[in-house]
Structure 1
Amino acid sequence: MIRKKKTIISSIMIFCMIACSVLLAFTGCGKKAEAPKAETQIITDDAGRKVTIPLKVNKCYYTSPIGMIMVYSLAPDKMAGLSMKLTDNEKKYIPSKYSSLPFLGGLQMNGNINTEQLAKVKPDVIFSIGPDAINKTSVSAADKLQQQINIPVIVIDSSFEKIDKAYTLMGKILGAEEKAKELINYCNNTVKEVTTATKDIPKEKRVNVYYAEGPKGLTTEPAGSSHALVLDMVNGNNVAKVQAKGGSGMSDVSMEQVLSWNPDVIISWGKDDDGASDLIKSSQNWKSINAVKSGKIYEIPSEPFNWFDRPPSINRYLGLKWLAATLYPEVYKVDIVKEVKEFYSLFYHINISDDDAKALLKNSAK
């Protein structure tokens, strides 16, 4: 009887050992099974929206060129496509692996995103970044797009006052925190440097400037417009006394108005951008204006992205340096060729030569 009990006990012990070995293979004997790691995270965007996104973002897209340029500067290898079509001249300043990405469209200027093509490239998130302040309309548009394509849409405020917060959040999402810090430092230092140099210029010595947009030069932006912010920040006197327009801007003016404003400097788009700089220099209608008589008509450099505006993204930080040096060379003294090379390397991931920088500035500087 005792021998039989010992046999039963031995059998039970052997069974327990086998069972433990089986459990060990799956969970570890005597250890609590670990919960699967989370694959998503919840972030709060600049509109206060709670958005669930993947823990690791491999690709992203953007609703406008403003966002595209920011992502390009921060994490170009995570771009899913282009939200603006690039010209051959613009492509010269962007490595081909990025300039050859598919054009997928955007929501700027009543445009559309090619949702069918977007689905094929499978971005993990979409950044919604516009020129105007975040409002109910922009939030509603983000919600609608997110529901339509079932991809998280993150609203970002990229204004000059919020650029550090914007880059910080985007850097966290894209796994590019260190690059974000580098870009933030450049942006903050540039604003401090330029505004410190120009803030004490007396009103009577501020240069009277007209921003000529369009093929005839008869659309413009008044002071306070997001599209004329660079001019405001360097303390140029924007002569345009017109009503500001939201969105893409471009307020119409008459030749008579421009003649009455009589600016000392005109900044304009070049012919490659369908601008009016050549017309302004040669037309009899403009010849009596001070800026024309003194030859102070400056084309805004625009390759790969306009330094002053359109799109109003981080390209404007180089525009701050360029315009301050152009309007006030006596108080803001920089080697602009050196500054251009540094910016293109840091933000556009391309090293250009002195000759390249001078070519960009050919009709744009004194």
Structure 2
Amino acid sequence: MKLKKWLIATVLSLSLTANMAFAKTITDVKGKTVEIPDQVERVVDLWHANNQVVLLLGGADKLVGTTNVIKANPWFNAVYPNIKNVPAINSQNGVQLEELLTAKPDVVLVSNKPAQEEVEKAGLKALLIGFQDFDGLKKTVRITADVLGDKAPTIAEDYIQELDTNIQLVNERLKDVPQEKRPSVIHISNGSNLFKIDGGKSIIGEWVKLAGGHNAFEDQANLVEVNIEDVLKANPDVIIVGSSNADKAVEQIKADPLWASVSAVKNGKVFVNPTGTFPWDRYSGEEALQILWAAKLFHPAQFADIDMVAKTQQFYKKYYNYELSKENAEQILKGQNPVQ
């Protein structure tokens, strides 16, 4: 009897030890610790933006679930054609639990607490990611890299070093530029609504300031509704339109008499924000390029030697192993889709 109990205890002990050996603990952005397999092979990423981080870190082949936004992104499809075979496991009504369970993920990456709770109730491991500043971007990149394992943590540190180097370069070149020479900027979230803006209390506000501008709506967060009176009062020196339909929005602003008296319109400083495997302006690893693009846009003399076409080509080759032509890079910088 004692021998039997000893054997059972030994088996249980060995089983627990084995399980621990094949598990790792990850801390998400809110400090919650989650135990996941030591070798993760199947990932569902339910945050549109972070799929691009997974791609950047070399983990796209581990995706067994993505989002409708990523599946519809032309540059993501160009860089990683297999995304067409990865099911979208989200909808306007939230997580599609049946599809999620069918995907059998080792871990699910989510951007909000309700989604995390929903995934956990289904008996799956969920990690919360997300950010509103560059420190948060670095943290999310590192968490995602730890989840993916393999070479991802090394790539993450290399990327973070490149991001920091670009930040330091911009800071150094703009340190002597007085406030009165720093343009006021309105960033319009997307071309579908000219009055939905991103204010200073967001990552958009952070890169605008870093690049030597100041947000015309400094006290606002992202995705805030304003009106034409607010725009006229702010009278920005520069207007940038991000994401979808941005080119049409720029033309609309230029042609609309209501906007004609705005300084940015009068001086021809209304621009489309670059968009690649994800829009550069928000929640993207390509934010490392956004910093340089915006600094050159606001202060061309200080950044005359920065070739954004070459920088974009180098980034895509280094992180995606994708050869962008000069025309491709120019299309990304203009927020255009790849040539069909």
Shorter-chain TM-score: what band? 0.7 to 0.9
Kindly indicate whether residue 82 of structure 2 is the aligned counterpart of residue 97 of structure 1.
yes
Structure 2 CA distance for partners of 1:117 and 1:202, relative to 1, 3 Å: same
Matching residue of 1:290: 263
Task: Give the partner amino acid of 1:114.
Answer: Q
**1:228 is matched by which residue type in structure 2?**
G
Query: Once the 2 structures are TM-superposed, how far is the Cα of residue 345 of structure 1 from its aligned partner?
Result: 2.4
Q: Deviations over 1:224-258 (max 9, x none)?
A: 223433212213121126643xxxx3212121221
The more displaced of 158-167 and 47-56 is 158-167
Q: 1:129 to 1:257 in 2, by over 3 A?
A: same
CA distance in 1, matches of 2:332, 2:139: 31
State TM-score, norm by structure 1. Answer: 0.76
What residue is the counterpart of 1:231 in the other structure? 208
**1:57 is paired with a residue of what secondary structure?**
coil
Of residues 45, 53, 56, the one that matches 1:70 is 53
Identity of aligned residues (%): 26
Cα deviation for residue 71 of structure 1 reads 1.4
Q: Which moved more, 1:156-165 or 1:297-306?
A: 156-165
| Contact 2:36 2:125 (8 Å CA) reproduced | yes
Alpha-carbon shift at residue 35 of structure 1 (Å): 4.3
Task: Name the SS of the counterpart of 2:25 in structure 1.
Answer: strand
**TM-score normalised by length of structure 2:** 0.82
Q: Take 1:257 and 1:162, find their aligned partners in 2: how far apart are those partners?
A: 30
How many residues were matched structurally? 313
Give matches, 1:50-69, under 5 Å: 50-69=33-52
Residues 336-355 of structure 1 correspond to what in structure 2 (within 5 A)?
A: 336-355=308-327
Counterpart of 1:255 (choices 228, 245, 248) is 228
CA distance in 2, matches of 1:67, 1:362: 22
> Match for 2:311: what amino acid?
E
Q: 1:146 to 1:221 in 2, by over 3 A?
A: same
1:109-150 deviations in Å (ceiling 9; x for gaps): x751211111112110112346xxxxxxx3x653x2343221
1:315 to 274, 286, 295: 286
Gaps of 5+ in 2: 1-12
User: Helix, strand or coil: the match of 1:285?
Assistant: helix
Q: Is the 8 A contact 1:93 1:303 kept in 2?
A: no
Alignment pair present for 1:115 and 2:90: no
Instruction: Give 1 or 2 for the bigger CA radius of gyration.
Output: 1
Inter-CA distance 360–141: structure 2 relative to 1 (3 Å threshold): closer
Q: Which moved more, 1:318-327 or 1:271-280?
A: 271-280
| Mapped contact 1:221–1:251 kept (Cα < 8 A) | yes
State the distance in 2 between where 1:262 and 1:362 align: 24
Kindly provide the amino acid, as one letter, of the partner of residue 343 in structure 1: F
Q: Does residue 329 of structure 1 match 2:300?
A: yes
* Aligned twin of 2:29: 46
- 1:285 CA drift (Å): 1.2
SS at match of 1:42: strand
Equivalent in the alignment of 1:171: 145
Where in structure 1 are there 5+ consecutive unaligned residues? Answer: 1-33, 131-137
1:346 and 1:111 map into 2 onto residues whose CA distance is: 37
Over residues 194-216 of structure 1, what are the superposed CA-to-partner deviations in whole Å (9 max), with x where a residue is unaligned?
23323432111101211123434
Contact 2:44 2:109 in 1 (8 A): yes
Question: Residue 276 of structure 1: SS of its match in structure 2?
Answer: helix
Do the aligned partners of residues 44 and 307 (structure 1) sit closer, same or farther apart at CA in structure 2, a change above 3 Å counting? closer
Going from structure 1 to structure 2, the CA distance change for 1:39 and 1:115 (only over 3 Å counts) comes to: same
Judge conservation of contact 2:247–2:272 (CA < 8 Å) in 1: no
Aligned-pair Cα RMSD in Å: 2.7
